[in-house]
Amino acid sequence: MKENSKYIQVKNQIKDWILEGKVKPGEKIYSENELVKRFGVSRHTVRQAIGVLVHEGWLYREHGSGTFCSNRLLQQTKRESSKNIGVITTYMSDYIFPSIIRGIEQYLSSQGYSLIMASTNNDLEKEKQCLQTMLSKNIDGLIVEPTKSSSANPNISYYLNLEQHHIPYLMINQYYKEINPPHLVIDDEKGGFLATEHLIQYGHKKIIGIFKSDDLQGVNRMKGYIDAFRKYNLPFFPDMIVTYTTENKEEKIAEIRSLLEGKDRPTGMICYNDEVALSVLNIVRSLYLSVPGDLSIVGYDDSQLATASEVKLTSVSHPKTQMGIDAAKRIIAKIEGKSLENGTDSIVYEPQLIVRESTKRLASKIIT
């Protein structure tokens, strides 16, 4: 079953129409010949696509009359509680995500709920698939960590469709501004500011910032970084910011080596997260420089990794498991119609700087 085969594409497009609500149950879809014209494929291919959807229960055909959208989604609207909560994250097994998921699972299972997992690998197409899966399952609620939150999201209609089906959902880590759903996020701008301020107060002036640009966490942390420079009236210098995306991460990180090899070396570095900080640490080692002797490094998220290395990383806290618990608590409250003690549906966590061994006060200068 090739993903890019034509009939699969046609199938997915038609399914989209249904899931997005463009075609409602009982309504007739385009005739086969019409679809042939629209997609520019043969009738055989169209029939193949429709055939699959008929077998999956999305459509039914009537000889001589047309092809119609079945009403299986409607049946699910008045469904009984399944005690299943969907969870969609960008990554499932890496970094701090396991901790978040643990929090979710902990609370859910204590309340007799189960968790259905899916991950997007930070790919919007995959996010769409995940949403489709969740919509076609019998879930009571959905917790989403947005994919590529810094760019416009093409899957909004799916989220809106969730609302039409009265399935509560909330977003963690970030949220799509366009829909403004309940969300649990960290004040990343402040986190970035705290990290940078820390180095500035330690007397550092040439501080490089490395940030991920395809999610809002990265963009916000960068904002905080720049704010700190402004507040302390420090001069900006060339190459002070390195940004990367999921796709070009490896190369961009590798480029940092050259920044450290030059003679006018930076003395501090603010990293998007602990993972990046560790990569930098490895580069520093390979150049026979020391941390924090030659370079002070600040990570972010206070992950396992921060304390796994010999040089324990100074990092910015992330609620992780607690965030998971809070998310689960709120989604269940919504499902069961409880009103939360706190009036608002969302939480903004305050970040805290955790100073460890990877940052050092520069001897020459002290700023207060």
Task: Give me the residue label for tokens 């992330």.
Answer: 318
Give the range of 55-63, 94-102, 202-210, 327-335 binding DNA by CB under 7 A: 55-63
Determine which residue in the list 34, 94, 178, 247 makes contact with its own copies, applying CB under 8 A.
Answer: 94
Contact in structure between 38 and 83 (CB atoms under 8 Å): no
Count of CB atoms situated within 10 Å of the CB of 252: 17
Determine which residue in the list 22, 24, 37, 44 makes contact with DNA, applying CB under 7 A.
Answer: 44
**Spatial separation of the C-alpha atoms in residues 146 and 124, rounded to whole Å:** 9
Site for DNA contains 55 (CB under 7 A): no
Give the range of 29-37, 64-72, 130-138, 348-356 binding its own copies by CB under 8 A: 130-138
Site for its own copies contains 99 (CB under 8 A): yes
**Spatial separation of the C-alpha atoms in residues 228 and 225, rounded to whole Å:** 5
Minimal distance, residue 279 CB to DNA, in Å? 34
Minimal distance, residue 203 CB to DNA, in Å? 32
Q: Which of 127, 197 has the CB closer to its own copies?
A: 127
Site for its own copies contains 137 (CB under 8 A): yes
How far is residue 44 CA from its own chain's centroid? Answer: 39
Q: Are strands 207-212 and 241-244 parallel, antiparallel or unpaired?
A: parallel
Q: Which of 50, 144 has the CB closer to DNA?
A: 50
Window 10-29: contact mask with DNA (x via CB under 7 A) = -------------------x
Q: Which of 65, 93 has the CB closer to DNA?
A: 65
Q: In this structure, what DSSP letter does residue 210 have?
A: E
Contact in structure between 142 and 168 (CB atoms under 8 Å): yes
Could you tell which of DNA, its own copies, none binds residue 300, using a CB distance below 5 to 8 A set by kind?
none
Window 40-59: contact mask with its own copies (x via CB under 8 A) = -----------x---x----
Element (H, E) at 125: helix 124-136
Determine which residue in the list 55, 62, 235, 263 makes contact with DNA, applying CB under 7 A.
Answer: 62
Determine which residue in the list 62, 251, 310, 341 makes contact with its own copies, applying CB under 8 A.
Answer: 310
CA distance readout (Å), 203 to 169, 189, 197, 200, 368: 45, 21, 10, 5, 9
How far is residue 23 CA from its own chain's centroid? Answer: 30
Site for DNA contains 110 (CB under 7 A): no
Could you tell which of its own copies, DNA, none binds residue 310, using a CB distance below 5 to 8 A set by kind?
its own copies
Determine which residue in the list 70, 76, 129, 201 makes contact with its own copies, applying CB under 8 A.
Answer: 129
Q: Comparing C-alpha atoms, which of 169, 178, 111 is closest to residue 144?
A: 169
342-348, long-range: CB < 8 A, 24+ apart: 345/170, 345/182, 346/182, 346/183, 346/184, 346/185, 347/183, 347/184, 347/185, 348/185, 348/186, 348/187
**Spatial separation of the C-alpha atoms in residues 285 and 278, rounded to whole Å:** 10
Site for DNA contains 112 (CB under 7 A): no
Minimal distance, residue 4 CB to DNA, in Å? 7
Q: In this structure, what DSSP letter does residue 178 have?
A: T
Determine which residue in the list 70, 76, 84, 151 makes contact with its own copies, applying CB under 8 A.
Answer: 84
Site for DNA contains 58 (CB under 7 A): no
CA distance readout (Å), 57 to 18, 23, 46, 80, 368: 12, 15, 17, 20, 68
Minimal distance, residue 49 CB to DNA, in Å? 8
Count of CB atoms situated within 10 Å of the CB of 16: 16
Contacts to its own copies by CB under 8 A: 51, 55, 82-84, 92-94, 97-99, 101-102, 105, 109, 112, 114-119, 129-130, 133, 137, 278, 285, 304-305, 308-311
Contact set with DNA (CB under 7 A): 1-2, 5-8, 29, 31-34, 40-45, 47-48, 61-67, 341
